[in-house]
Structure 1
Amino acid sequence: MLEEVKNYKLKHKNLKLIPITTKNYWEIGWLELKKEQEEFVGDNFKSMAYAYATVMEGKYAKAFGIYDGDESIGFLLIGHNSYSFEGCPKTLMHSYDLWRIMIDKDYQNIGYGKDAVKLAIDYILTFPDGEEDIITTSYVEGNECAKHIYESFGFKPNGDNYEDEITLVLKVK
């Protein structure tokens, strides 16, 4: 079930998730992707605003900066039962969702993305907003890097896709 997650050892021992506050909002917001990746991952500022709006609607969303020690290297957004738009895949309405993950262009291809997904899953498994049976995520078709990382932890496509995003599910119970 979660063997891939349990067995994975972080490559970057000082990697941590720090909640977004007014102290790190701008720092995380200005992190950048490579130009060719911009079609795959939403803008950090827009994602943080969406998280705020989600919380203001009484739903669960948690935005984090990804840090290696004191150095900001990425952004992570997690939601729980937060989707309710027309055409929303049903699995997204009853799960924790790894909404957004991005690693700054200067820190890519050295294991931070995979380490960050491990930290995200570990956080979700504390069930901060109640228990669920699954964790979902998605990636834009063509983003082979994201697909590879998610599948390496046991996420599997379930066919519950939306527009150009492929939904993946990890069973936790």
Structure 2
Amino acid sequence: MIRLEEITTKNVWDVCRLKVTKEQEDFVSANIESLAEAYASNNEGYYAKPLAAYDDDLLIGFVMLGYGKTGDEDDPEIAENNYCLWRLMIDVKYQHRGYAKQILDQVVAFANAKKAGEAEYIWLSYEPENEHGRKTYQKYGFVENGEYCGDEIVAVYKLDE
């Protein structure tokens, strides 16, 4: 069973050791960088929620969620009062096993539970060259909305009402 758990002193270094393929390194930040970004964002009054992804007791990946604006000048309009799937990575050892959909199900459940606030959408962004990411998110139900976050394409997922 897939679940998202808090990052703690017990799992932080294991989360930092998770890796993607060499080809994916251009598309996702290292987890240690994401944790530093979450720390700084939270200190500045923004919402960032880094979470470890587990299959039962097996650490398989990392997710970072945001809510609302991040203070970045590139924030798209959709960021206001909506959730952001800021990061999603699955360790190279556990890719191609159907985990992406299951993790996305948990992200949607988190947003539907309104843990950071009310929202209509989850949004994310990806580089135009990230065809695998685009296909994965579109298959799940994310739709490109015409916005950009810097040079990245924005896609949105409509939450339950």
Structure 2 residue aligned with 1:159: 146
Q: Deviations over 1:107-143 (max 9, x none)?
A: 1111111211111111111011210111101112122
Q: TM-score normalized by structure 1?
A: 0.87
Decide which of 6, 13, 28 is 2:15's aligned counterpart: 28
Higher relative contact order (CA 8 A, sep 6+): 1
Displacement of 1:53? 1.3
1:107 and 1:164 map into 2 onto residues whose CA distance is 29
The list of structure 1 runs, each at least 4 consecutive aligned residues, that deviate by more than 6 angstroms after superposition, is none
Size of the aligned set, in residue pairs, is: 160
Task: Find the residue that maps to 2:153 and give its secondary structure.
Answer: strand
Structure 1, unaligned runs of 5 or more: 1-13
Contact preservation (8 Å) 1:74, 1:102: yes
In proportion to residue count, which structure has more strand?
2
Displacement of 1:61? 1.4
Structure 2, unaligned runs of 5 or more: none
Displacement of 1:102? 0.1
Q: RMSD of the alignment, in Å?
A: 1.3
Structure 1 residue aligned with 2:101: 114
Contact preservation (8 Å) 1:138, 1:168: yes
Displacement of 1:148? 1.7
